[in-house]
Amino acid sequence: MRRILPIVLLLTAFLINAQTTIFVEDWDGNGPGIGEWTLYNLDNRTPVGPGGTDGEALSFLVQDAWTVLSFEQIQGANPLFEAYPTAATGMDGNIIASNSWYNPVGIANDWLVSPLITIPAGATNISLNWAATSLGNATFLEDYRVHLSPTGGSQVANFTNLLIDVNNELNTGNFRTQVLNDNLAGTSIRFAFQNDGNDQYVMFLDNITLTATLTASTNDFFASNLKIYPNPTNGMINLSSSTTLINTVSVTDLNGRIVKFFNLSGISQTELNVSELTSGMYFVSVETDLGKGTTKIVKN
């Protein structure tokens, strides 16, 4: 035998000068879920299976580029696995796994591409954070890369920025933070994890977040120049300004996705229909002739 592996709180208020989670994925229901991520299995290699002298049931569970697994599935495939590493902060419940142990041997090239994420205008201290661990002993530590698509494109060619190249991720667990450029504020991006391990074993990711400091500027601009009501709303909201003309309005959910967009072309007041949105909190970002402002609304 060759080798024998807190839920992040969503934003609840528009905090001024505070580090805020604008995207979260923990594979346990907090976040968009695997259906909203894009997977690329570019190596198209076959994981080592449970048969033969090097048989391994856990490796064989990871048939796709990345696969969401429950703790029970992991433990069932490898009875020696008893707990997630404590150093991988908050790793619990479901995780997502990628494999680099193939038959025949070869280098992994498996991509996990995030949904499109809009970073609020004026955001600073933007950081991508995640928990990771290699499974197995110190001889078989996983390698992976984290990439950024600054244009928001989802194809591999769009990921022109290499954020970090990790070699030999710890098998005791690790929590990593990668600072992004503040120039990304007000843009829509994607990030991707690429497993490029060479004949290693299996790695886990969990508790992926994108955080930023939301400054007072856009909030103050909105309060000084715009009115929005009723808030909370059952479906219709009134937006007006006595100081400037309104050009566009975007409504963003807590995962950073734009769920409504209105092109208004320079008006002073309007009524917006958000009745089809599910109940919860949203950000309303308004672009005017004088600048941009953001506030929060609650949809009943």
Angle subtended at Cα 112 by Cα 36 and Cα 193, rounded to the nearest 5 degrees: 135
Do residue 123 and residue 240 come from a single domain? Answer: no
3: pLDDT strictly greater than 50: no
**Residues of the chain by 3-state class (helix, strand, coil), percent to 5:** 10, 45, 45
Instruction: Determine, yes or no, domain membership for 284.
Output: yes
Domain C-terminal end among 214, 231, 255: 214
Q: What is the pLDDT of residue 177?
A: 96
Q: 170 to each of 80, 87, 124, 192, how far by Cα in Å?
A: 18, 9, 30, 20
Tell me the pLDDT band of 242, cut-offs 50, 70 and 90.
Answer: confident
- Whose tokens are 């994420």? That residue is 117
The C-alpha atoms of residue 97 and residue 65 are separated, in whole angstroms, by: 9
96: pLDDT strictly greater than 70: yes
Do residue 181 and residue 232 come from a single domain? Answer: no
179: pLDDT strictly greater than 50: yes
Q: Domain with 255 in it: what CATH number?
A: 2.60.40.3080
- Greatest mean pLDDT range, 29-33, 47-51, 233-237, 243-247: 233-237
Do residue 265 and residue 208 come from a single domain? Answer: no
Q: What is the pLDDT of residue 8?
A: 28
Q: What is the pLDDT of residue 30?
A: 86
Q: What is the pLDDT of residue 11?
A: 33
Q: What is the pLDDT of residue 136?
A: 79
Look over the chain and give the mean of its residue pLDDT values, rounded to a whole number. Answer: 87
Mean pLDDT of all residues in 1-7: 34
153 closest CA partner among 114, 109, 126: 114
- How many domains, the chain? 2
Within 8 A by CB and 6+ apart from 59, the residues are 47, 48, 49, 99, 101, 201, 202
Tell me the per-residue pLDDT of 196-221, one tens digit each, with 9 for 90 and over: 999 899 999 999 999 888 765 566 77
Q: What is the pLDDT of residue 6?
A: 28
Do residue 197 and residue 243 come from a single domain? Answer: no
Tell me the per-residue pLDDT of 13-46, one tens digit each, with 9 for 90 and over: 333 345 678 888 999 988 899 999 999 999 999 8
Which phi and psi angles does 110 have, rounded to 5°?
A: -120, 125
Domain C-terminal end among 156, 184, 214: 214
Instruction: Determine, yes or no, domain membership for 290.
Output: yes
| DSSP class per residue in 214-279 | E-HHHHHHHHHH-EEESSSBSSEEEEE-SSS-EEEEEEE-TTS-EEEEEEEEEESEEEEE-TTSPS
Instruction: Determine, yes or no, domain membership for 13.
Output: no
Q: Domain with 208 in it: what CATH number?
A: 2.60.120.200
Share of the chain above pLDDT 90, in %: 57
Mean pLDDT of all residues in 180-194: 94
Do residue 50 and residue 190 come from a single domain? Answer: yes
Domain C-terminal end among 170, 199, 214: 214
Tell me the per-residue pLDDT of 75-95, one tens digit each, with 9 for 90 and over: 988 888 889 998 777 899 999
N- to C-terminal Cα separation, the chain? 57
Q: What is the pLDDT of residue 54?
A: 59
Do residue 54 and residue 181 come from a single domain? Answer: yes
The C-alpha atoms of residue 90 and residue 81 are separated, in whole angstroms, by: 17
Which residue range(s) make up the domain with 289? Answer: 216-299
10: pLDDT strictly greater than 70: no
pTM: 0.69
Do residue 152 and residue 231 come from a single domain? Answer: no
Do residue 151 and residue 294 come from a single domain? Answer: no
Q: What is the pLDDT of residue 90?
A: 85
